[in-house]
């Protein structure tokens, strides 16, 4: 089966799942098993991993010891992201391409069933990398896995009346988040990536990655718990 005939699934895997405090070995095992099951069924994956706790720890140390710019903090995030992606690539090495691919143009000629993506420029989170890889691969859906069940109409940590969102258009979603990227931003899908995804017409599903069974339901087109962000004309 050639790659044009395969469904390519792009996953933006939150670093908080890989490194909540320390590396979550059990999560990595379950995630690898899920990927292996779908590869056996003919699916292909492009996976970008966020920086997680490693990123934030390193950024905090830098801010404590010197005056930092947003670009400084973004570069720390980029290298933390690459480290996490390399860890996942190694864990999945029997399935995955042998290098972390940092730029979409590096995908040319790669026919591996699983590819781990990195990042190459400051100014956004790993979400934008996932969008750019999806565009290159002509994949119209991205699975965004983090440690939340839904996107909410306001920050549930600060507002007890925050309501979960099951279905929302890009225009509506982008009104709920800041317009500009900041390295310390906590948003289910970052504003730069959201603008690009809206322009291309990519659908993003926000799911809790800790619930592997629920992730599998989404991938199989079954009823699932989570938020779908899409273009207004999408059904």
Higher pLDDT, 190 or 229: 229
Average pLDDT in the 89-98 region? 96
What's the CA gap between 221 and 7, in Å, rounded?
Answer: 13
Q: What six digits make up the tokens of 84?
A: 């996490």
What's the CA gap between 78 and 119, in Å, rounded?
Answer: 6
**Least confident segment among 63-72, 77-86, 122-131, 217-226:** 122-131
Helix or strand run (H / E) with residue 133: helix 126-137
| Alpha carbon distance, N-terminus to C-terminus of the chain | 29
Percentage above 90 pLDDT, the chain? 72
Is the pLDDT assigned to residue 100 strictly greater than 60?
Answer: yes
Q: What six digits make up the tokens of 17?
A: 């799942």
| Architecture in CATH for domain 8-230 | 3-Layer(aba) Sandwich (3.40)
pLDDT of residue 186: 67
What's the CA gap between 135 and 233, in Å, rounded?
Answer: 19
pTM of the model: 0.90
Higher pLDDT, 215 or 127: 215
Question: Using only C-alpha atoms, what is the Rg of the chain?
Answer: 17
What's the CA gap between 72 and 76, in Å, rounded?
Answer: 7
pLDDT of residue 125: 77
Is the pLDDT assigned to residue 229 strictly greater than 90?
Answer: yes
How do residues 11-33 score in pLDDT, each as one tens digit? 999 999 999 989 999 999 999 99
For the chain, give the mean pLDDT.
90
Q: Closest Cα partner for 105 from 123, 84, 121?
A: 121
Are residues 88 and 18 in contact, defined by beta-carbon separation less than 8 angstroms?
A: yes
Is the pLDDT assigned to residue 3 strictly greater than 50?
Answer: no
CA dihedral sign of residues 72, 74, 76, 79: negative
How do residues 138-185 score in pLDDT, each as one tens digit? 999 999 999 999 999 888 888 889 899 999 999 999 998 877 766 656
Are residues 114 and 35 in contact, defined by beta-carbon separation less than 8 angstroms?
A: yes
pLDDT of residue 169: 95
């Amino acid at each position: 089966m050639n790659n044009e005939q395969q469904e390519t699934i792009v996953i933006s895997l939150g670093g908080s799942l890989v490194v909540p405090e320390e590396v979550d070995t059990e999560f990595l095992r379950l995630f690898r098993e899920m990927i292996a099951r779908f590869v056996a069924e003919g699916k292909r994956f492009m996976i970008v991993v966020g920086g997680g706790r490693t990123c934030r720890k390193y950024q905090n140390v830098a801010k404590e010891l010197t005056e930092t710019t947003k670009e400084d903090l973004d570069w720390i995030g980029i290298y933390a992201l690459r480290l996490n992606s390399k860890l996942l690539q190694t864990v999945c090495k029997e399935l995955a391409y042998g290098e972390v691919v940092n730029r979409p143009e590096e995908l040319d000629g790669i026919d591996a069933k699983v590819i781990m993506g990195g990042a190459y420029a400051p100014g956004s989170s790993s979400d934008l990398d996932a969008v750019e890889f999806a565009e290159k691969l002509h994949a119209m859906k991205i699975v965004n896995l983090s440690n939340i069940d839904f996107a909410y109409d306001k920050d549930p940590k600060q507002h007890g009346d925050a309501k979960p969102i099951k279905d929302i258009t890009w225009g509506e979603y982008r009104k709920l988040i800041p317009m500009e990227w900041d390295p310390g931003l906590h948003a289910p899908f970052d504003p730069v990536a959201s603008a690009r995804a809206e322009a291309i017409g990519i659908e993003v599903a926000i799911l809790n990655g800790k619930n592997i069974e629920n992730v599998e339901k989404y991938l199989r087109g079954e009823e699932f718990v989570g938020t779908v962000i899409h273009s207004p004309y999408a059904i």
